[in-house]
Amino acid sequence: MPVSASELSERLTEALSASKDSEQTLADVRGVVEQIVAHEVEQVRAEAAEAGKLAVLKQLSELGELLDSLHARLRDSDATGAKALDKRLDRILSSHGFERTATVGETFDPRWHEIAGVETGPAGARAAPGTIVREVGRGYRRDKFVLCTARVVIAS
């Protein structure tokens, strides 16, 4: 179990004040210092890994608009190959941890959705205000990161 930096600092202070034997004190101090260094190295590694993930996710976000256009073209096409390509694209995104953003029947959430229109007709009347009644463009996200927002029509 990882030890906090403050706990390691306390151990170092105890090691310096508790022992009268200088060789034992030196060994205790060395052990605590090694733990502190290991702790700091692990923190730096974790922060570097997170920074790397964020850089990759930022690059992926630039593909969101392209992804949206591609889905629109595939959706409007009736070719069998286009449908297969559409499914393959979903599988690829899923294999990298991205999931489709839930839309129809959900409550509009500006973190995941973009309003493309407001339904005032029968479909809008049957749903509570702010409820998504139609998806115009797919959205994908991974945890809190949005690759592209889902474009939706909500009930008025």
Q: What is the pLDDT of residues 94-108, one digit of tens each?
A: 888 889 999 999 999
> What's the alpha-carbon Rg for the chain, to the nearest Å?
27
Task: Please list, residue by residue across 25-43, b when 16 or more beta carbons sit within 10 angstroms of its beta carbon and e when fewer do.
Answer: eeebeeebeebbeebeeee
- Residue 112: pLDDT band (50, 70, 90) is very high
More confident residue, 152 or 44: 152
Tell me: the pLDDT tens digits for 26-46? 666 667 767 777 777 777 777
Asked if residue 64 lies in contact with residue 104, where contact means CB atoms within 8 angstroms, the answer is no
Across 15-24, 40-49, 101-110, 119-128, least confident range:
15-24
Answer for the pair 63, 149: CB distance below 8 angstroms, yes or no.
Answer: no
Chain segment 60-87, per-residue pLDDT in tens = 666 666 777 777 777 777 667 777 777 8
**Amino acid 105: pLDDT:** 93
CA 77 to CA 54: how far, in whole Å?
Answer: 34
Predicted confidence at residue 61, as pLDDT, reads 63
Query: Does position 115 have pLDDT exceeding 90, yes or no?
Result: yes
The answer to whether the pTM exceeds 0.95 is: no
How big, in percent rounded to 5, are the helix, strand and coil portions of the chain?
55, 20, 25
